[in-house]
Amino acid sequence: MKTVSENRSFGGVQGVYSHASEACKCEMTFAVYLPPQAEHGKVPVLWYLSGLTCTHENAMTKAGAQAWAAEEGIALIFPDTSPRGEGVPNDEAYDLGQGAGFYVDATEAPWAANFQMWHYIRHELPELVFSEFQLDRDRQGITGHSMGGHGALTLAMSFPENYRSVSAISPIANPTKSDWGRKQFAAYLGPDESKWRAHDATILMEERGYPGTILIDQGSADQFLDLLKPEALVAAAAARRQPFEFRMIEGYDHSYFYVASVMEDHVRWHAENLR
């Protein structure tokens, strides 16, 4: 692991690091915020997965999460959204290729060689950060925005033993029924739609749910509502009688101005659930 930068922030340290990823076959960059409490022992962890076109840097610099994390004594981890670099396949469209990993393990050419983001987030990056930092592996939460909200929900419902809390901000909630999902799943996973089901939060809600309360925020003025399809996930949660808090917040769109507006609630909500 290489240190790219470290800066004091709200009494803690905001670091950016890189490492050679075996899963993604390239150099991967990620960020970790350690609150001041980490100087005295292991602290709980909140994973934040970013959305389309983002890197580790977007939420790190725009969400304002460090202030609340420092107060609550919780670490933040900001992974990248895809493999990158020379030799890594890409596409001219913003919603496929680099910046658009969709948190799946690709099985189709040319993506399969590098686009192993499910394994990277689930296995490789946790093994690295828990060996390097003062983090409590038994107290992990996960959240994310848009494509990252999709990743957070699908990972938490697939591995509830690893994530004791889960929330999402404007998640892609039903990707098998959306152009933000069908296009990418067909490219990464192939035409057999049965292989897509494991990466659709609405289907996972119908089939298994989550052993805890889920928090989801959605802006009512989101310009991508028809692609996100929150109503499908809400209906599945209601049918399952899943403990579920869904907030449609009037007037907010899909931007990081909105993310920053609700970030305090999400950090504090996870901190409370991870105590």
Q: What is the mean pLDDT of residues 129-146?
A: 97
Give the pTM: 0.98
Burial class (CB in 10 A: 0-12, 13-18, 19+), 79: buried
Amino acid at 64: G
* Residues near 66 by beta carbon (within 8 Å), at least 6 away in sequence: 9, 10, 12, 14, 33, 76
- Percent residues over pLDDT 70 in the chain: 100
Work out the mean pLDDT of the chain and round it to a whole number: 98
The strand pairing partners of 6, in sequence order, are 15
From the candidates 167, 199, 222, 266, give the one annotated as an active-site residue: 222
For 230-254, write each residue's pLDDT tens digit: 999 999 999 999 999 999 999 999 9
Domain at 59, CATH number: 3.40.50.1820
From the candidates 21, 50, 146, 170, give the one annotated as an active-site residue: 146
Separation of alpha carbons 199 and 56, rounded Å? 22
The DSSP call for residue 124 is I
Annotation says 254 is catalytic: yes
Domains in the chain, number:
1
Judge contact between 167 and 144, C-beta under 8 A. no
pLDDT of residue 9: 98
Amino acid at 163: Y
From the candidates 145, 150, 199, 254, give the one annotated as an active-site residue: 254
Q: What is the mean pLDDT of residues 27-55?
A: 98
Judge contact between 33 and 59, C-beta under 8 A. no
pLDDT of residue 156: 98
Distances (CA, A) of 116 to 67, 188, 233: 32, 10, 26
For 60-91, write each residue's pLDDT tens digit: 999 999 999 999 999 999 999 999 999 999 99
**CA-CA-CA-CA torsion sign (213, 219, 220, 225):** negative
User: Could you tell me where the beta strands, DSSP code E, fall in the chain?
Assistant: 2-9, 12-21, 26-34, 43-49, 75-78, 135-144, 165-169, 214-219, 244-249
Tokens 């304002």 belong to 64
pLDDT of residue 114: 98
Annotation says 222 is catalytic: yes
**CA-CA-CA-CA torsion sign (60, 176, 21, 95):** negative
Annotation says 19 is catalytic: no
Q: What is the mean pLDDT of residues 159-182?
A: 98
Which residue range is the domain that position 51 belongs to?
Answer: 2-273
Q: How confident is the model at residue 212 (pLDDT cuts 50, 70, 90)?
A: very high
Amino acid at 108: E
Judge contact between 46 and 69, C-beta under 8 A. yes
pLDDT of residue 162: 97
